[in-house]
């Protein structure tokens, strides 16, 4: 990867990150109306609380200054405080482990099942197994997380009593159904993408050329097809990981997991503006950095990328 590409890519992070945070900030504070009232969900506030909020967010100042103060706070890990006086950042660190466990569980399912399905379907192309996998994965991407969560909860939790229905009291078992809910859909779309990608690459002329040189097929597939297929797969995995880390809102709601997504919903229901803003900002930051990592990784895998 050329140094120029690396530097360019790193520099790119800055404007995108700043821009994203600016957007989130602007959506809350720039839209017409009284931001404090909106943040408080139009509930009546005691004058002292009102003023506190105003000072905290420097609302008397021009917008740019407000934004800079906010950025300054972010850099120091300060995401503001909720109306009840708690630090948003401390709430986040409390809930982070739950989301992390859920992310890892779902991600593991995605990677293992997704790639397994892809390999089997590609190798057993045109057989019944391939078609079965295609149908199954199609089904899994169709069903929205909302529905899948409930179905799994009902079948395995309520009817069969195999797994806990909600909450995190049962240790690792609590994460099984939620991880499946998230992971199966992701595995299905990854599997389909990986399968078609691998199949396309197997048709490549350089594969035929390698076989024509007398290289064993297994090696050719294992080394040449694989590396050529990697870039889209890595990209999708990165995007999915970032999405998971941002908090799987729906899943955490259905299974009552006290993670970041759940905190977001609570924040919305209690109309706790600072909470919502902080969480969305966090999610965006995670996304930008994950994206950076993925881009650099892909440039290492495929040398053509850094030459664009």
Tokens of 145: 């997380």
Smallest distance from other proteins to CB 2, Å? 11
| Residue 256 is a binding residue for other proteins (CB under 8 A) | no
Which range of residues in 84-92, 112-120, 173-181, 247-255 is near other proteins by CB under 8 A? 247-255
Contacts of 21 (CB under 8 A, 6+ apart): 70, 71, 74, 281, 284, 285
DSSP 272-304: -HHHHHHHHHHHHHHHHHHHHHHHHHHHHH-TT
Interatomic CA distance for residues 303 and 308, integer angstroms = 10
DSSP 80-148: -B-TTS-BHHHHHHHHHHHHHHHHHHHHHHHHHHHHHHHHHHHHTTTSHHHHHHHHHHHHHHHS-HHHH
| Residue 303 is a binding residue for other proteins (CB under 8 A) | yes
The number of beta carbons lying within 10 Å of the beta carbon of residue 254 is 21
Which range of residues in 88-96, 110-118, 170-178, 222-230 is near other proteins by CB under 8 A? 222-230
| Residue 222 is a binding residue for other proteins (CB under 8 A) | no
Smallest distance from other proteins to CB 177, Å? 14
| Residue 287 is a binding residue for other proteins (CB under 8 A) | yes
| Residue 145 is a binding residue for other proteins (CB under 8 A) | yes
Which range of residues in 78-86, 94-102, 168-176, 216-224 is near other proteins by CB under 8 A? 216-224
Looking only at residues 148 through 187 of this chain, which bind other proteins when binding is defined by CB under 8 A? Answer: 150-151, 153-154, 158
Which range of residues in 50-58, 68-76, 169-177, 206-214 is near other proteins by CB under 8 A? 206-214
Which range of residues in 59-67, 82-90, 110-118, 239-247 is near other proteins by CB under 8 A? 239-247
Q: Which residue, among 1, 235, 247, 202, has the nearest Cα to 100 in the 3D structure?
A: 247
Smallest distance from other proteins to CB 287, Å? 5
| Residue 228 is a binding residue for other proteins (CB under 8 A) | yes
Smallest distance from other proteins to CB 253, Å? 7
Interatomic CA distance for residues 149 and 141, integer angstroms = 13
| Residue 209 is a binding residue for other proteins (CB under 8 A) | yes
- Is 274 in contact with 263 (CB distance < 8 Å)? no
Q: At what angle do helices 3-29 and 273-301 cross, to 10 degrees?
A: 160
- Residues in binding contact with other proteins, number by CB under 8 A: 71
Tokens of 277: 């803003």
Looking only at residues 26 through 85 of this chain, which bind other proteins when binding is defined by CB under 8 A? Answer: 27-28, 31, 38
Among 4, 15, 172, 222, binds other proteins (CB under 8 A): 15
């Amino acid at each position: 990867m050329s140094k120029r590409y690396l530097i360019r890519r790193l520099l790119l992070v800055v404007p995108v990150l700043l821009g994203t945070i600016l957007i989130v900030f602007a959506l809350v504070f720039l839209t017409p109306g009284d931001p404090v009232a909106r943040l408080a969900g139009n509930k009546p506030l005691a004058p002292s609380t009102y003023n506190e909020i105003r000072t905290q967010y420097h609302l008397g100042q021009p917008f740019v200054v407000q934004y800079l103060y906010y950025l300054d706070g972010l850099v120091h890990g300060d995401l503001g405080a909720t109306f009840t006086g708690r630090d948003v950042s401390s709430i986040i660190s409390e809930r982070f482990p739950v989301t992390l466990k859920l992310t890892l569980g779902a991600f593991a399912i995605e990677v293992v099942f997704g790639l397994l399905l892809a390999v089997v379907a590609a190798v057993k192309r045109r057989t019944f197994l391939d078609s079965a996998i295609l149908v199954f994965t199609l089904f899994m991407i169709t069903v929205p997380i909302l529905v899948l969560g409930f179905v799994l909860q009902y079948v395995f939790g309520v009817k069969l009593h195999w797994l806990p229905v909600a909450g995190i009291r049962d240790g690792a078992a609590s994460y099984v159904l939620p991880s499946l809910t998230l992971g199966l859909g992701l595995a299905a779309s990854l599997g389909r993408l990986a399968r078609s990608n691998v199949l396309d690459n197997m048709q490549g002329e350089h594969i035929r050329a390698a076989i024509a040189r007398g290289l064993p097929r297994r090696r050719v597939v294992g080394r040449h097809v694989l590396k050529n297929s990697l870039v889209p797969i890595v990209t999708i995995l990165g995007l999915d990981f970032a999405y998971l880390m941002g908090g799987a809102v729906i899943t955490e709601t259905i299974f009552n997991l006290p993670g970041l997504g759940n905190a977001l919903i609570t924040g919305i229901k209690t109309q706790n503006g600072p909470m919502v803003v902080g969480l969305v900002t966090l999610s965006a930051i995670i996304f930008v950095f994950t994206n950076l990592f993925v881009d650099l990784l892909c440039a290492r895998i495929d040398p053509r990328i850094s030459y664009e």
